[in-house]
Amino acid sequence: MSVLYKRVALIGLGLIASSMSLAMRRAGVAGEITGYARSVETRNIARDLGLVDHVCESAADAVKDADLVILAVPVGAMGAVMQDIAPALKKGAVVSDVGSVKKDIFASVLPHLPEGVEFIGTHPMAGTEHSGPTSGFAELFDNRWCLIVPTETSSDAEILRLETFWQALGANTKHMDADHHDLVCAVVSHTPHLIAYTMVGVADDLSRVTDQEVIEFSAAGFRDFTRIAASDPTMWRDVFLSNKEATLEILGRFTEELFALQRAIRQGDGDHLHEYFTRTRAIRRGIV
Closer of 17 and 29 to ligand NAD (Cβ): 17
Is 33 a binding residue for ligand NAD by CB under 6 A? The answer is no
Q: Please say whether the beta carbons of 95 and 69 come within 8 A.
A: yes
Closest CA to 173 of 155, 154, 194, 149: 149
Min. distance of Cβ 158 from ligand NAD in angstroms?
A: 21
- What's the chain's length in residues? 288
Min. distance of Cβ 157 from ligand NAD in angstroms?
A: 25
Closer of 34 and 211 to ligand NAD (Cβ): 34
Is 13 a binding residue for ligand NAD by CB under 6 A? The answer is yes
Q: Please say whether the beta carbons of 93 and 68 come within 8 A.
A: yes
Q: Please name every residue paired with 138 in a beta bridge, in sequence order, or none if there are none.
A: none
- For residues 23 and 200, give the distance between their C-alpha atoms in angstroms, rounded to a whole number: 33
Residues 62-91, interacting with ligand NAD (CB under 6 A): 72-75, 77, 81
**List 4, 8, 9, 11, residue binding ligand NAD (CB under 6 A):** 11
Min. distance of Cβ 39 from ligand NAD in angstroms?
A: 5
Is 235 a binding residue for ligand NAD by CB under 6 A? The answer is yes
- For residues 108 and 242, give the distance between their C-alpha atoms in angstroms, rounded to a whole number: 10
Q: Which of the ranges 2-10, 11-19, 261-269, 276-284 carries the binding residues for ligand NAD, by CB under 6 A?
A: 11-19
Closest CA to 95 of 116, 69, 66: 69
Q: Which three-class secondary structure state does DSSP give residue 140?
A: coil
Q: Which of the ranges 9-17, 146-154, 166-174, 206-214 carries the binding residues for ligand NAD, by CB under 6 A?
A: 9-17
Min. distance of Cβ 93 from ligand NAD in angstroms?
A: 18
**Which residues are CB-contacts of 161 (< 8 A; sequence separation ≥ 6)?**
4, 5, 94
Closest CA to 10 of 42, 34, 41: 34
Binding residues (CB under 6 A) for ligand NAD: these are 11-17, 37-39, 42, 72-75, 77, 81, 98-100, 123-124, 127, 131-132, 232, 235, 239
